[in-house]
Structure 1
Amino acid sequence: MSKYLVIYNGSAGNNDNEKIAHHFQRQATAHGDADLLATQSRQEALQAIQKRAKDYDCLVTIGGDGTLNTTCTALLKANVGTTLGIIPGGTVNNFAKALGLPLEADAAIDTILTGTARPVDLGYLPDTGQAIVSSLTIGKLAETAQNVKQSEKKRWGPMIYLFKGFKQLVTNRSYKFRLTVNDQTHVQRAQVILITTTNSVGGFISFNQEASFDDDLLHTFVLRRFTPRKLMNYGRLFIAGKFKNARGVSYFKSTSLTIENLSHRPLHTRIDGDPSVKLPIKVAIRSDFIQVMTPN
């Protein structure tokens, strides 16, 4: 019999999460025991998960990539590798889509209770211990995500990121970076740096056909300059999964890298859609630290 800890946002306005959590608890009785952990903030969740994770066979998250990031960050800080069950409840659910997980709650619950555990890669920042479940962005894409409203995400889904992202990218502002990857140092100006751990970005699961969630690699895209004339070609390559082939895009595969800001203004990162630390940063990959329940 397994022990499950169900983690969800218990703040006001998240009644659906609570209903799903209790539904999972009832469904799990034939397979084991399930305890519920409703948290009001990221900090509260981090502390509670670090303290309790070692006592359970599987941690079940209800939410999107941000909820997953909080859970994985807590596991890294506690150095507790374990199995995760995912009930997608976010707007984009990028990581769940990359793994081919069901997005509907009942099917997701069935996958957690009867599916197969598969090891997945987990990016992280060694200096802070923060996890990178799906992506880290710097520059224009980070600014774009900050300006996307929750109502727009609900109405348009991942397409809103694509639309607003390209709208931002045709502006002239760029930044100067020093990127050290695969024992080589690159100093250049760029509008965007994007680091991914899977084949999916913003819910587009064919974004990078060379990547997978268990290839032990970070995938880094450096976008130097976008122009309106190139916009249609970039959009076509983005959707076709060949964005790395676009003119003006540098692509690297590595197990770690460092990024330094050589511009005059401070630059912050966004990790899995939420604001994070400012540059400089070191990024690394941790393989086989966690497993995720996937369909048989």
Structure 2
Amino acid sequence: MNLDNGNGGKAMCQKYIIFFNPRAGDGKAQKIADDIQKRLKIRGQDVAQLVAGGRTEAIQMLIGELPQAKAVICIGGDGSLNAVLTAFVRAKKSVPVGLIPNGTVNNFAQKWGIPLDQNKAFAKIMENNLHSVGIGKCAGQAVVSSLAFGSLASISNDVRQSEKKKYGLAVYGFNAVKNLRKNHSYKTEFYNDVFSMPAKVWFCLITTTDFVGGRRYLGTRSDGLHVTMLNNMKFSKLLNYGYFALTGNLRKSTTLTSFDVKKLIIKTTDGKLTGTRIDGDPGPDLPVKIEWLPNFVSFFM
């Protein structure tokens, strides 16, 4: 692990913590971090880079540094941002966050209008305008943009990082079509304090906003968790789903089940082991409880 304040290792009260994965983007994140650190120090700010060997270590380091932090600047996509907000969830404390998008999709940045250009994103942080954002919480982990489970989520788990870099988002669609006949629906129950609903689910997507994959897919902008599920999948339905998703009106498709909720417990009832994906990375197996945390953290926007 390493916490480099760029001051010869001397301890000082850190104000800005720069968090990133140094192995992401062929070393680009490290170059961005160095540039941001230089700019902040020119402005007379105390700053430290937080670099960890893995996600678990990074979260623990972030929790330890929160009492000294004025703000966290995260360089990366939804996955890196998830680590930061998971630290906040577990610490039950947050500080303002600035995002320098450097991921594959950058869904959160696309939703909230955070510039994808490094210099423009940094300028937004320096404007010091804060906006409160709600997120999801599941099994002690933040849900920044989405939680998904079902056959499509399982297919996504099989996509290699090298394939994603080479083909982009198209690799998910290709693998989905290729594996349509190999995957199946799961007998599932959705419930909370006021309702219970059994369902046969081929794929379920739960989002914290009206954006997914960097695009608006819902007409609603209400706060809370947005649940959309496909009960089964056939090749003949792909064009139907694709049209409504691309036009931002997925819920107008009559072949989907959808609703909004603040808290939800999900479990399978057929005994099949079912994993989840949170913000694009593998998450806990069902059963899970997911809840909405309104105005949980402030972002520079």
Q: Which residue identity lines up with residue 143 of structure 2 in the other structure?
A: I
RMSD: 1.9
Among candidates 206, 213, 219, match of residue 216 of structure 2? 206
1:28 aligns with 2:35: no
Residue of structure 2 in register with 1:78 after alignment: 91
Separation in 1, partners of 2:263, 2:70: 30
Question: How far apart are the structure 2 equivalents of 1:11 and 1:92?
Answer: 17
Matched position secondary structure for 1:40: coil
2:25 and 2:102 in contact (8 A); partners too: no
Q: CA offset at residue 79 of structure 1?
A: 0.8
1:50 correspondence with 2:50: no
Q: Deviations over 1:203-240 (max 9, x none)?
A: 2x2111213xxx43000012111222222111101111
Aligned pairs for 1:105-120 (under 5 A) are 105-120=118-133
Q: Which runs of 5+ in 2 are unaligned?
A: 1-13
Kindly, what percent of the aligned residue pairs are identical? Answer: 34
Residues 284 and 12 of structure 1: is their aligned pair in 2 closer, same or farther, counting only changes over 3 Å? closer
Separation of aligned partners in 1, 2:151 and 2:175: 10
- Structure-2 change in CA distance of 1:288 and 1:265 (3 Å): same
Distance 2:37 2:286 in 1: 42
The alpha carbon displacement at 1:32 in A equals: 2.2
Structure 2 distance, partners of 1:66, 1:12, is 11
Q: CA, structure 1 residues 207+174, in 2 after alignment: closer, same or farther (shift >3 Å)?
A: same
Q: 1:173 to 1:75 in 2, by over 3 A?
A: same
Equivalent pair of 1:192/1:224 in contact (CA under 8 Å): yes
1:121–1:71 CA distance, 2 compared to 1 (3 A): same
Number of paired residues? 287
In structure 1, the residue matched to 2:299 is 292
| Partner Cα separation in structure 1 for residue 233 and residue 79 of structure 2 | 29
Match of 2:140 among 115, 122, 129: 129
Is 1:66 aligned to residue 76 of structure 2? no
Change (3 A) 1:103 1:188: same
> How much has 1:27 moved relative to structure 2?
1.3
- Between the aligned partners of 1:48 and 1:41, the Cα distance in structure 2 is 11
Please state if 1:222 is matched with 2:233: no
Within the candidate set 33, 36, 40, 2:53 is matched to 40
Structure 1 position 161 matched with structure 2 position 172: yes
Give every structure 1 segment of 4 or more consecutive aligned residues whose post-TM-superposition deviation is greater than 4 Å: 11-14, 166-172
Q: Is 1:150 the equivalent of 2:161?
A: yes
Aligned twin of 2:279: 272
Aligned to 1:185: 196
Unaligned runs of 5+ in 1: none
Measured in 2, the distance between the counterparts of 1:251 and 1:181 equals: 16
Q: Tell me by how many angstroms 1:264 deviates.
A: 2.6
SS of the aligned residue for 2:184 comes to coil
Q: Which position in structure 1 is the counterpart of 2:11? A: none
Letter in 2 for 1:228: F
Contact 1:10 1:40 in 2 (8 A): no
The structure-2 alpha-carbon separation of the partners of 1:200 and 1:28, relative to structure 1 and needing over 3 Å to count, comes to: same
Do the aligned partners of 2:63 and 2:91 also contact (CA within 8 Å) in 1? yes
Paired residue secondary structure (1:153) = helix
Alpha-carbon spacing, 1:233–1:182, altered in 2? closer, same or farther (3 Å): farther
What is the rounded CA distance, in whole Å, between the counterparts of 1:12 and 1:93 in structure 2? 14
Kindly tell me: are residues 54 and 167 of structure 1, through their superposed partners in 2, closer, same or farther at Cα, counting changes over 3 Å? farther
Q: Is 1:174 equivalent to 2:181 in the alignment? A: no
- Aligned partners of 2:169, 2:91: CA distance in 1, in Å? 33
Over residues 239-291 of structure 1, what are the superposed CA-to-partner deviations in whole Å (9 max), with x where a residue is unaligned? 11111221221111111111011123211111011111111111101111201
Q: Do the aligned partners of 2:151 and 2:183 also contact (CA within 8 Å) in 1? A: no
